[in-house]
Structure 1
Amino acid sequence: MTAPVEVTPDLLQGWPLPTIPDDGDKEDRGRVLVLAAGAEVAGATLLTAVAALRAGAGKLQVGAPRSLAQPLAFAIPEARILPAAETDKGELSPDAADELKSALARSDAAVIGPGMLDEDAAGELTLRLLDGEGPPLVLDAAAMQGLPADPGRARALAGRMVLTPHAGEMAALTGRSKEDIAADPLSAARRLAADLKAVVIAKGACSYIVSPDGSAWRHESPTVGLATSGSGDVLAGIIAGLLARGASPAQAAVFGVYAHAQAGLRLSKRVGRMGFLARELLDEIAPVLCGLEAGT
């Protein structure tokens, strides 16, 4: 197996994102659907949704637990809010799948899972939404945990899914120990990507992005400030926004990891190596991506 390719500005500038014309409209930039947190960490929904827009998506839909629909409508005025069934803990219920399938079908990309805490409900909701049809998907956090029970649902998407596990989540997905994963994250990611026919991001200070055919990229950015609440939600949103714009799952994952890391680096220089907030990453996404497009 070949060594992973280092993610650099030169690499990304030679692999440009799909072109959006200056006179393009919202439809040209794609529609993204966000299915994320419930009552306890509702801010994760905002972080993910705004990150998708900052990455360039043109239209935003948010599937929200009914009790959170109105607050989220005020918090994210750019979004169309889709109230859906919720659990007694205030998270999206598996029964919400029936209400959200039509929105998923008319989206260009979707992200499921950021901030979800109820692994059983999130896993079952995800499985009900994975029927082999629909747009490319980003699965994050608890949304990934249902996959081991029915891996065929993931394989049916034939490479149109991006998974974003850290070492602990990778261990749960593969049945291996966290220590084994940490010792060789690239090998673990390659096995998982091949098994589920998905692009896998093994997250860490050094992140590996692996496609189902074993192609791999490596990006090292030991920015300790990114190890903060909500940071991963921003990454998931960036990737979904890039997918909505027409990037392939592998390209969206590679660009997403780079843009997220560079946003953190910019804040580290301006604010400090620790102490900046996930919400502050949002304002850095567009400048990073625009800088790549401009070659600066």
Structure 2
Amino acid sequence: MSGPVVPVTEALLRAMPLPRHEEGEDKDARGRILVIGGSTETPGGALLAGLAALRAGAGKLQIATCRSVAPALAVAVPEARVSGLEETPQGGISAAAAGLLAERCGRVDVVLLGPGMLDGAAVSLLTARLLGSTAGACFVLDAAVLQELAGCRAALDGHAGRVVLTPHAGEMAALLGIGRDAVLADPLAAARRAATELQAVVAMKGGCTFIADPGGRAWSCDRGNVGLATSGSGDTLAGIIAGLLARGAEPTEATLWGVFLHAEAGARLARRQGPIGYLARELLAEIPRILADLLPRRGDAAG
């Protein structure tokens, strides 16, 4: 499938404004998000993703992670309700937690699954069970989940139009069952193929990020810089997109806005601090400032 590739610009985003939230609304009006992620070795993935969702404007945050790291994560993110789950000997979230998590997924607007997760076998089984038993919520699938998603494709059937995938080249290769070099040779084609086959919005991360949706449309964003290629950066992108979904944006809109916000945050940090060496956590504070610059202020004309 081919067609024009539209650059993601400020003008494009202003033509598809995010849902507006007025004074007097409570936090429920900005949506509820559940981040399922982390492990005994990488609990910070869930932390970064959850904070990114709040910085993008989500109203309520829950984080579900391994039991042994949950208390520390709860202290690190006092804004969140943090739940500890049964964990595997390898330090990942056990698939035995699927029933409890499915019930919680039914009470939120968005589920972000994957940041910081380890233990591929458990991830695969947990993902299949959650997707197969949860209806209604939007899903953002990231990181370890994408490595295992090839075996869970049937479970995606009931979620068409409500899923966002955020792969890098290696994860896309695993997802499509092709070589990483093939993905790097034509990342746009890979994004379009995944979007069509999985009926999901896909953000194919790279030096230039390509976004594709199931309808065959495609966009590109080259606003970022080399500093974004750092540990935790992908977790922040997934969290931003999930936060925008929680606020009520459609999957394509949330992904386009999320990719731009993430790239622009990196660009602003690069101008202030230098192009290499800023941290993924430092991206977070930039997000509300960029949103304030792009969104119409009270009294301005919307859009």
Question: Which TM-score band applies after superposition, normalised by the shorter structure?
Answer: over 0.9
Give, in whole Å, the separation in 1 of the partners of 2:224 and 2:267: 9
**Which amino acid counterpart does residue 100 of structure 1 have in structure 2?**
L
CA contact (8 A) 2:146 2:174 kept: no
Query: How far 1:6 sits from its partner (Å)?
Result: 0.7
* TM-score, normalised via structure 1 length: 0.97
Question: Which residue of structure 2 lines up, in the alignment, with residue 223 of structure 1?
Answer: 225
Query: How far 1:289 sits from its partner (Å)?
Result: 1.5
CA contact (8 A) 1:7 1:219 kept: yes
Say if 2:26 is the partner of 1:25.
Answer: yes
Question: Which residue of structure 1 lines up, in the alignment, with residue 244 of structure 2?
Answer: 242
Query: How far 1:81 sits from its partner (Å)?
Result: 1.1
Aligned residue for 2:68, secondary structure, equals helix
Query: How far 1:146 sits from its partner (Å)?
Result: 2.9
Question: Which residue of structure 2 lines up, in the alignment, with residue 46 of structure 1?
Answer: 47
State which drifts further: 145-154 or 285-294.
145-154
CA contact (8 A) 2:66 2:93 kept: yes
Aligned residue for 1:176, secondary structure, equals coil
Tell me the C-alpha RMSD between the 2 structures. Answer: 1.4
Aligned residue for 1:217, secondary structure, equals strand
Deviations, residues 70-96 of structure 1 (Å, cap 9, x unaligned): 111111000011221111122211111
**Which amino acid counterpart does residue 216 of structure 1 have in structure 2?**
A
Query: How far 1:37 sits from its partner (Å)?
Result: 1.3
Give, in whole Å, the separation in 2 of the partners of 1:96 and 1:123: 13
CA contact (8 A) 1:123 1:144 kept: no
Query: How far 1:150 sits from its partner (Å)?
Result: 3.1
- Within 5 A, what are the aligned runs for 1:77-96? 77-96=78-97
Question: Which residue of structure 2 lines up, in the alignment, with residue 107 of structure 1?
Answer: 108
Deviations, residues 146-169 of structure 1 (Å, cap 9, x unaligned): 321231211220110001111111
Query: How far 1:4 sits from its partner (Å)?
Result: 1.3
Aligned residues: 296
Give, in whole Å, the separation in 2 of the partners of 1:150 and 1:140: 14
Question: Which residue of structure 2 lines up, in the alignment, with residue 178 of structure 1?
Answer: 180
Give, in whole Å, the separation in 2 of the partners of 1:45 and 1:89: 17
Counterpart pick for 2:286 among 246, 261, 284: 284
Query: How far 1:145 sits from its partner (Å)?
Result: 2.7
CA contact (8 A) 1:67 1:90 kept: no
State which drifts further: 9-18 or 116-125.
116-125
Say if 2:211 is the partner of 1:209.
Answer: yes
Aligned residue for 1:95, secondary structure, equals helix
Give, in whole Å, the separation in 1 of the partners of 2:151 and 2:86: 23
Question: Which residue of structure 1 lines up, in the alignment, with residue 274 of structure 2?
Answer: 272
Deviations, residues 171-199 of structure 1 (Å, cap 9, x unaligned): 11111111111111111111111111111
* TM-score, normalised via structure 2 length: 0.95
Give, in whole Å, the separation in 2 of the partners of 1:120 and 1:289: 39
**Which amino acid counterpart does residue 243 of structure 1 have in structure 2?**
L
Stretches of structure 2 that go unaligned for 5 or more consecutive residues are none
Question: Which residue of structure 2 lines up, in the alignment, with residue 126 of structure 1?
Answer: 127
Aligned residue for 2:64, secondary structure, equals strand
CA contact (8 A) 1:147 1:153 kept: no
State which drifts further: 212-221 or 123-132.
123-132
Q: Runs of 4+ in structure 1 displaced over 2 angstroms?
A: none
Question: Which residue of structure 2 lines up, in the alignment, with residue 165 of structure 1?
Answer: 167
CA contact (8 A) 1:152 1:196 kept: no
Give, in whole Å, the separation in 1 of the partners of 2:77 and 2:152: 34
Question: Which residue of structure 2 lines up, in the alignment, with residue 2 of structure 1?
Answer: 3
Residue identity (%): 51
CA contact (8 A) 1:221 1:261 kept: yes
- Within 5 A, what are the aligned runs for 1:245-256? 245-256=247-258
CA contact (8 A) 1:18 1:246 kept: yes
Counterpart pick for 1:142 among 136, 140, 144: 144
Query: How far 1:221 sits from its partner (Å)?
Result: 2.5
Question: Which residue of structure 2 lines up, in the alignment, with residue 67 of structure 1?
Answer: 68
CA contact (8 A) 1:84 1:100 kept: no
Stretches of structure 1 that go unaligned for 5 or more consecutive residues are none
In structure 2, the CA distance between the partners of 1:271 and 1:215, relative to structure 1 (3 Å rule), is: same
CA contact (8 A) 2:117 2:144 kept: yes
Aligned residue for 1:229, secondary structure, equals coil
